[in-house]
Structures are given as C-alpha cells and as structure tokens.
Amino acid sequence: MSEPVRYRRERIDRGIKVRADTVFVLATLRDMTYLFLPRFLPVLALLVLPFFVSGGYWEKVLFYSCMFALLALSWDLMASVGLVSLGQALFFGVGAYISGGLNHYLKMPIYLSIPLATLAGAFFCTLLLVSVLRLRGVYFSMVTLILPLLFAHLIETLDILGGTHGLLSLTPFPSGWLAMYLGIFAVIICLFGFRKLINEDFGLVLKGIKDDDRVVMAGGINIYWYKAQAIFIAGGVGCFAGALMTHYYQFVGRSVFALDYTVLPLASAVLGGPGSFAGATIGTFLLVPLSEVLRALGGLRMALYGAILIAALVILPEGLFHYIERKYHQFERDVRV
Amino acid sequence: MQDEIILKVEHLTKRFGGVVAVDDVSFDLRKGEFLGLIGPNGSGKTTLINLITGFVKPTSGKITYRDANITAKAPYAIACLGVSRSFQMVRAFHKLPAFKNLIVPLYSPRVKKFGGGRYGERDDVAIDLLDDLGFERDSAVPYKTAGSLPHGYLKRLDLARCMALRPDLLILDELFSGMAMSEVAATLPLIEKFNREGLTIVMAEHRLKELFRVANRVIVLNFGRKIADGSPKEAMETEEVQKAYLGIEVDG
C-alpha cells in the first residue's frame, strides 16, 4: 500500500523585495518593472479614467470617489499617529463652508477661496482639536464625532451661513476637467506624499506616538506638537476636498457635516488596510462606486453594503492592500512532503 | 569630580487618593555619583522616578535640576534637559527594526542641537549606539523587529534609547529585572563605564549584589519614606532597613 502523496504550499519572498527594503540598486529592467508597475499603473488609470466617463453620471462618481479618497487618506494619516478620528466630516465641512462663505459673501474667485479655505480650515481644525490632544483613544474619537454635529446644529439654529437653506449659486469651476484633475492630482500627491512622509524620520516619530507615546516623551519629543502637525496636514487635505466639492456643486449646506463623510472614509481605510495609505485609496475607489451601483436596489442598499463590509472585515482583517502586497512579494509553489 | 549638585529633591510627596506613594523624600545628587535606589516592592521607587522625570505630577515638594526648577514639567521638556530614563516594563516600538527604535530620541530637539543628525546619518548613529551595547553590528540583530528580540535585548535596547539622548543624568528603573545572569554580567560593566566617563546614574534595582558592586551610595525607601541614605554597607546595617527587608512589622 502506498502512502498518499501530500503537498505543502511553500511561500518564498522574492529576492527583489529583500533587496529593495533598504537598498535601491536595481540591476535589470525586470526588477524595475516589478517595482514601478504597481505604482505606475494605478496612477495611469486615474489619469485616463476621466476620458472614459466624461460628461456622464459616472464622471460625478469618479469626482466623488476622489473626494472620499482624500478624506480616507487624511483619516489614515491621523490614525498613523494614534488619533482615531470619527469626524472627517469636520474637516470636510469646515473647508466647504469657509470656501463657500468666502465666495458668497466676499465674492472671492475660486483660485483664492479654495487655497484659503485649505489653509484657514487646517488652522481652524487644528485649533479646535489642540485642546483635546491630551485625550487618548476613544475619548479623542468621541470629541471628533461630536464636533461636526455641533457645527451642523449651530448653523441650523443660529441661522448663520445660509442656515438650513445653505449658500446657493457659488462660482462653478470653469470646466469640469479642471475640477476632476485637481481632485485626481490631489489624491496622487497625498497618496505618495504621505507614504514617503511616514517612512521618513518624522513619520517614525508619528508612528512611535501611536505605538507608545510615553517612550516618545521619554525620548525628549513634544508629542502634542507632532500630533498638532499631523492634524494640520490631515485637516488641510480634508478642507481642500470640502472646498473642491463646494464649488463643484456650487452649493454648500449642512449636509457637508453629515455622518457619510465620516463613515465612508473610515470604512474604506478599514477595507483597504489602514496604515498604508494605498489601502485607504483602493478602499474608496471600490466602496464609492459600489454604493452607487447598489443605489438601484433602493432600501436594500445599505443592508447589502453593511454585509459586504462585515464580510471583508471577517475574511480579510488585515485589509485588501496588505493582502495584495504580501501576495505580490511572494511566489508560491507546492512541495511534496 | 564630586562637586556640583546636579539634582536636588526637596520634601517630595505624592498621594494617590489615600495612598502616600512617596512621602516627604529629600536628597541631593552630585555630578558623577552612582546612586542606588532600593526598597521592597511597592515602596515608591518607580513613583519617585516618575516624579523626577515628569511622568507623574507631585502633590507637593520641589525638584531642581542644575538650578532649573523642573517640578511638574512635561516629561519631554525634562528629557531635553538631559534627564533620561528607562522603563521597568519593556516599552519599545515592537513593529520597528531595533535600530529604528533609536530614531525617536535622535530626532529630539536635544540631539538635533548637537548636530550631525541629518537623515541617513541617524541610522548610522543608531547602529553605533546599539553596537556599543552589545548588538553586534555585523549580525542581523539590530535590523530585526524589536518584537522578535528576547527580553534581555529589549532591556538593552531601552538602555540604548536612554543613551541616544546623550543624557547628563541617567535614571534606570530596574534595568536588570527579567535579565539572565549572563546578560546582567554583560551589561553591568557598560553602566560602570558610563559612570566612570562622568555620567551621573540613579538606579532602582532589586538585585542588590550587582547594584552594590557599582553604586557608591544607596537610598532605601519603605512605604514611600526614605529610611536610609549612605554607602551600601552603612545603609544595609540600619535596623529599619533590615526590618523592611526581612518583613518584620515596624513598630508604631
């Protein structure tokens, strides 16, 4: 009687990965393609996508996805410092209202109102959150959850900034292409910029604060200053997205503080794999179009959406990006045991 | 060498609710001294260290470091003045390679002031520091993630983190706890060397034999109160210290 032949799956890291971790010596074109293709292809796809969806409903979806990607990236940056935000809507809304207000009341052109909203919004959000930087974990999250609700109610009850009607007929972008490419370039710059930033020494300090802030303090580093810097950058990105959206729809209302702008970026980052920025971006470009497709299902949409999220969390808790990255860097083969 | 008073602790008290963790402790520390801080479990050694390094705010009392009042200052501000501490429970960035753990203190304003810490060079400085503390630079050990290192290495990593700050006062909180005898034997001469080179050291420790080899003065705490202060021999001969260590109820 013969033993049944059994196989064991063997996973081996590709040589290039081992070499490329710290040393960048690329010998062959094959190595270079291996490294650059996964970075280059998504960028290329993003750049040509507007030509395929131009003018239609899906153009709006693409723009929408870019805005959510910016929010997800901003969430991921804050999460890298250990600041788990439940209020990306705060950044989005503040940026939207500053830009809308400047345009509506001061008749400021968009090439001034958008940069101003980005900077002023980042300052404003940082100032708001500086007072609660000492709070850790869930306490910080709760404050960020409450702040956008607070602003929505302030605007409603005090009837300021257009109250429940919002600010209407703001200056539109001179062309849809400009808005679209502003959004796309912002996503690309943030994605690669953040990935670089987090691997610099500055980023190491940020990640250190997440892992153990007491060690960082014992290392002579003012953690509150670094947290504030991270919030400033994340806030700026969120505010920029809000400002773009305002002028894209030529309207700003209380809905910019809605929970959607908090939940969707968070869900995207979790689905894609937090901490990698690429994961957050992939997550958004899957979830936003998906939620649009599911719109046809009416009431069932949210239920199905939730089910997909839960399934993703159970099956792939590490996130899509980390899984894909791992598989890309390994080859597998069956070896006879 | 024993001239300037580097640290002055006056009537330091810390209460946690009804518990008096540190009770009216005063002492001076001169430059170049090697002070042992001993006492039974729960006697307030770690709290005293936390108070000096700013991690816990005192209820009352005053701490002066080199003419600067550092009472209740932020931990990072005190660290930047040159007071570096280790942690009793190993605290490290477990996901990072060991040498990257040292980037954080090397990135601090204090070390930046010394210069020579531009990007890239910091990695080299970190490897040098680890090499000094027995992480062989040619081996894979300094490049492994901190989480995969054995306990003894982590303790030494913590010591390296302290030294990365180029401290003037080093405070070690039970550095040897959980270390194997051979590891202790390898680390002790290093600390001795730092002291000989002029570094002032405070060391809280339970391993008295090793401590007394290096410390030239000990302070004994019991229930938060200082019960002895002097050379190791003197201190251990005090009746109160013997009672505390033998577990006999102190009368009154």
Provide the ipTM: 0.86
Note whether A134 contacts B: Cβ–Cβ < 8 A: no
Q: Could you list the residue range(s) of the whole structural domain that residue B59 is in? A: 1-82+205-252
The range of the structural domain enclosing residue A314 comes to: 7-336
Which residues of chain A have a CB within 8 Å of the CB of B96? 204, 207-208, 211
Cβ neighbours, 10 Å, residue B235? 21
Q: Please tell me which of the candidates B77, B80, B95 has its beta carbon nearest to residue A211.
A: B95
pLDDT of B215 > 60? The answer is: yes
Chain A contact probe: residue of B53, B73, B76, B170 with most A CBs at under 10 A: B76
**Which tokens is B227 given?**
């019960």
For residues B203 and B211, the answer to whether their CB atoms sit within 8 Å is yes
Is A151 inside any structural domain? yes
User: Considering only CB atoms, which chain A residues are within 8 Å of B84?
Assistant: 218
Nearest residue on chain B to A216, judged by CA atoms? B104
> Does residue A44 lie within any of the structural domains?
yes
Report the C-alpha gap between A187 and A185 in whole angstroms: 5
CATH number at residue B67: 3.40.50.300
In a domain, B57, yes or no: yes
Cα R_g (chain B), whole angstroms: 18
**Structural domain count of chain B:** 1
Provide the CA A239 distance to its chain's centre, in angstroms.
12
Q: What is the pLDDT along chain A (337 residues), one digit of tens a residue?
A: 567 888 888 888 776 665 555 555 656 777 778 878 888 999 999 999 988 887 788 888 999 999 999 999 999 999 999 999 998 999 999 999 999 999 988 988 888 899 999 999 999 999 999 988 888 888 999 999 999 999 988 988 887 887 777 787 788 888 888 999 999 999 999 999 999 999 888 999 999 999 888 899 998 899 999 999 999 999 999 999 999 999 998 888 888 888 888 888 888 898 898 888 999 999 999 988 988 888 888 778 778 878 888 888 898 888 889 888 888 888 888 888 7
Instruction: Find tokens 């580093």 and name the residue.
Output: A221
Question: Quick check: B142 pLDDT over 90?
Answer: no
> Cβ B103–A207 below 8 Å, yes or no?
no
Measured CB to CB, residues of chain B less than 8 Å from chain A are 53, 55, 74-77, 79-80, 84-85, 87, 91-96, 100, 103-111, 119, 122, 161-162, 164-165
Given a contact cutoff of 8 angstroms between Cβ atoms, the answer to whether B83 and B52 are in contact is yes
Instruction: State pLDDT tens for residues B163-205.
Output: 988 899 999 998 888 888 888 888 899 999 999 998 999 999 8
DSSP lists the bridge partners of residue B203 as B36, B172
Indicate which CATH number applies to the domain containing A265: 1.10.3470
Report if residue A1 sits inside a domain: no
Query: What are A225's two structure tokens?
Result: 């200053």
Note whether residue B104 is domain-resident. no
Is there a domain that residue B102 lies in?
no
pLDDT value, residue A98 = 93
Put simply, whether A211 touches B (Cβ < 8 Å) is yes
d(CA B159, CA B171): 10
Indicate the pTM of the whole model: 0.89
Query: Is residue B25 over pLDDT 80?
Result: yes
Amino acid identity of residue A155, one-letter, is I
Tally of structural domains, chain A: 1
Mean pLDDT of B5-19: 90
Annotate chain A with three-state secondary structure: CCCCCCEEEEEEECHHHHHHCCCCCCCCHHHHHHHHHHHHHHHHHHHHHHHHHCCCHHHHHHHHHHHHHHHHHHHHHHHHCCCCCCCHHHHHHHHHHHHHHHHHHCCCCHHHHHHHHHHHHHHHHHHHHHCCCCCCCHHHHHHHHHHHHHHHHHHHHHCCCCCCCCECCCCCCCCHHHHHHHHHHHHHHHHHHHHHHHHCHHHHHHHHHHHCHHHHHHCCCCHHHHHHHHHHHHHHHHHHHHHHHHHHHCCECHHHHCCHHHHHHHHHHHHHCCCCCHHHHHHHHHHHHHHHHHHHHCCHHHHHHHHHHHHHHHHCCCCHHHHHHHHHCEEEEEEEC
* Residue among B95, B99, B107, B159 with most chain A CBs within 10 A, to mutate: B107
Q: Say if A163 falls within a structural domain.
A: yes
Nearest chain A CA: its distance from B182 CA (Å) = 27
The answer to whether residues A259 and A146 touch, using CB atoms and an 8 Å cutoff, is no
Is residue B193 a part of any domain in this protein? no
Q: Which residue of A has its CA nearest to B80?
A: A220
B135 pLDDT more than 50:
yes
Of B93, B96, B113, B15, the residue nearest B56 (C-alpha): B15
Chain A residue nearest residue B97, CA to CA: A204
Return d(Cα A58, Cα A50) in angstroms, integer.
Answer: 9
* Interface probe with A: pick from B52, B104, B113, B144, most Cβ of A within 10 Å: B104
